[in-house]
């Protein structure tokens, strides 16, 4: 089921499928179904169940393990891409923790810890920014992380 369950929709389903026993729907729709409807359907012997995963299945799901094994052996993303015949970007996507793509931080990890500690002690972000001489926006970034 991919539409909101309303009284009209429930009646249509029961008329069309008199032997209906189970309705599956996405989690987001399940949470919006009124409890009265769920109770009424259970009295009629119809179970409404949320589906964990809907949509298109992952294309390279099986390759994730192979990518990790090759990374552990010391292969580069380009080599893994050629071996498994998948795009380099996918190799970066499938990695779990061995590779990190993107910009490196301009600040050492100690700065992150200092910011968090000062914030926990109740120091305002503006003061942290002035004290450590880093932009206010970066202070907020460290706090959220």
Domain that holds residue 23: 7-51
Tell whether 94 is covered by a domain.
Answer: yes
> What is the per-residue pLDDT across 7-40, written as a single tens digit (0 to 9) for each?
888 888 888 888 888 888 888 888 888 888 888 8
Q: State the maximum Cα–Cα separation within the chain, in Å, rounded to a whole number.
A: 71
Q: Quick one: 63 and 29 in the same domain?
A: no
Look up tokens 């009209």; give the residue.
8
Does 140 fall in a domain? yes
Please tell me the predicted confidence (pLDDT) of residue 130: 93
Reply yes or no on whether the pLDDT at 54 is more than 80. no
Report d(CA 49, CA 22) in Å as an integer: 7
pTM: 0.38
27 with 47, same domain: the answer is: yes
Q: pLDDT per residue over 78-107, tens digit each? A: 999 999 898 888 888 887 655 555 677 788
For the residues 47-71, what does the mean pLDDT come to?
79
């Amino acid at each position: 089921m991919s539409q909101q369950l309303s009284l009209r929709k429930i009646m249509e389903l029961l008329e069309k499928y008199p032997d209906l026993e189970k309705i599956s729907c996405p989690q987001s729709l399940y949470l919006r179904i009124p409890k009265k409807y769920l109770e009424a359907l259970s009295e009629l012997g119809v179970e409404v169940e949320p589906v964990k995963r809907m949509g298109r299945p992952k294309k390279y799901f099986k390759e994730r393990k192979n990518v990790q094994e090759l990374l552990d052996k010391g292969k580069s993303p380009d080599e893994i891409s050629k071996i498994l015949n998948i795009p380099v970007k996918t190799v970066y996507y499938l990695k779990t923790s061995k590779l990190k793509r993107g910009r490196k931080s301009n600040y050492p990890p100690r700065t992150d810890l200092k910011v968090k500690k000062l914030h926990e002690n109740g120091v305002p972000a503006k003061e942290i920014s002035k004290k450590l001489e880093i932009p206010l926006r970066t202070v907020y970034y460290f706090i959220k992380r």
